[in-house]
Structure 1
Amino acid sequence: MRLWSLHPRYLDARGLVALWREALLAQAVLNGRTRGYRHHPQLQRFRQCADPLQSIAAYLWPVHAEAVRRGYRFDAGKIRNSQTSPTLPVSAGQLSHEWQHLIGKLQLRAAAWLERLTCHPALEPHPLFTVVPGDIAPWEITRSSK
């Protein structure tokens, strides 16, 4: 499961579809509707919110909006709550780590998409997040943490 802190506009078609599916799975986990993935580290930041279901819904809406912008037909009826939620912090280090991770994925599967992205040097976070100073998040699994 990868719930990107980066804005969904950076994801290629395959990445955006995967994000939609994984965020819907996260919503089901947070709602207690599945047995798997209950302890997934990516869910920690949502569980720490006053209303985790509201936060994951607020995460899903911009993913849906990006899909609509591209002409995809993601079903908004699958999102359980409204669009508003307090923003969550994401460290600049986490955002940079995810950008490097995404570059690696895109080099393998969507080089033309990556070429388009390199024209935009300022990283924008997913609208749910506000960038704060800091390193990679403690819940992130990296080569050095394995």
Structure 2
Amino acid sequence: MRLWSLHPRYLDTQGLVALWREALLAKAVLRGETRGYLHHPQLERFKAHPHPRSAMNSYLATIHGEALQRGYNFNRSKVGPVRKIPSIPVTSGQLAYEWQHLQRKLAMRSPDVLSHWAGVAVPDCHPLFRHRPGLIASWERASSGA
């Protein structure tokens, strides 16, 4: 499961569809509707939020909005109510790690998308998140080369 801290605009079609599915799975986990993925590290920051389900709805709403801009037909009813909620902090180290990770994926499966974003040195984060200085998140399963 990869719940990107990056804005979904950077994802290729395969990545955006996968993110939608994985965020819906995460929503099911937070609602207690599945027994799998209960302790997945990517969910820690959502579980720590004062309103985990609302945070996930906000996360999904941005993915849905990106899908609409691209002309995709993601089911809006799966998002749920979106309320004004506190943002989730994300560190510069985490964003840099994810940006490198995404660039490696795009190099293999969508070089044209990688080329489109070649001029981006510091990517935007998903609107649910608030950028702050810091290292890679403790929950990230970073490779030793990160």
TM-score range, shorter chain: over 0.9
**Could you say which residue in structure 2 is the equivalent of 1:133?**
133
SS of corresponding position for 1:49: coil
Q: How many angstroms apart in 2 are the aligned matches of 1:36 and 1:76?
A: 24
8 Å CA contact 1:5–1:126 kept in 2: the answer is yes
**Could you say which residue in structure 1 is the equivalent of 2:39?**
39
**Could you say which residue in structure 1 is the equivalent of 2:106?**
106
4+ residue runs over 3 A deviation: none
The letter of the residue matching 1:130 is R
Q: How many angstroms apart in 1 are the aligned matches of 2:142 and 2:53?
A: 27
Whether 1:69 and 2:69 are equivalent positions in the alignment is: yes
Which deviations, in whole Å up to 9, do the C-alpha atoms of 1:57-82 show, x marking residues without a partner?
A: 11110100000000000001011231
The TM-score normalised by the length of structure 2 is 0.96
Which deviations, in whole Å up to 9, do the C-alpha atoms of 1:44-95 show, x marking residues without a partner?
A: 0000011100011111101000000000000010112314321110000000
The letter of the residue matching 1:15 is G
The TM-score normalised by the length of structure 1 is 0.96
Give % identity.
52
8 Å CA contact 1:92–1:134 kept in 2: the answer is yes
**Could you say which residue in structure 1 is the equivalent of 2:13?**
13
8 Å CA contact 1:3–1:23 kept in 2: the answer is yes
8 Å CA contact 2:7–2:125 kept in 1: the answer is yes
Deviation (angstroms), 1:142? 1.3
State the Cα RMSD in Å. 1.2
Please list every run of 5 or more consecutive structure 1 residues that lacks an aligned counterpart in the other structure.
none
Bigger Cα displacement from structure 2, 118-127 vs 49-58: 118-127
Bigger Cα displacement from structure 2, 136-145 vs 34-43: 136-145
Cα 1:31/1:11, change in 2 over 3 Å: same
8 Å CA contact 1:61–1:83 kept in 2: the answer is no
Cα 1:121/1:144, change in 2 over 3 Å: closer
How many corresponding residue pairs?
Answer: 145
Deviation (angstroms), 1:120? 2.8
8 Å CA contact 1:125–1:131 kept in 2: the answer is yes
The letter of the residue matching 1:139 is W
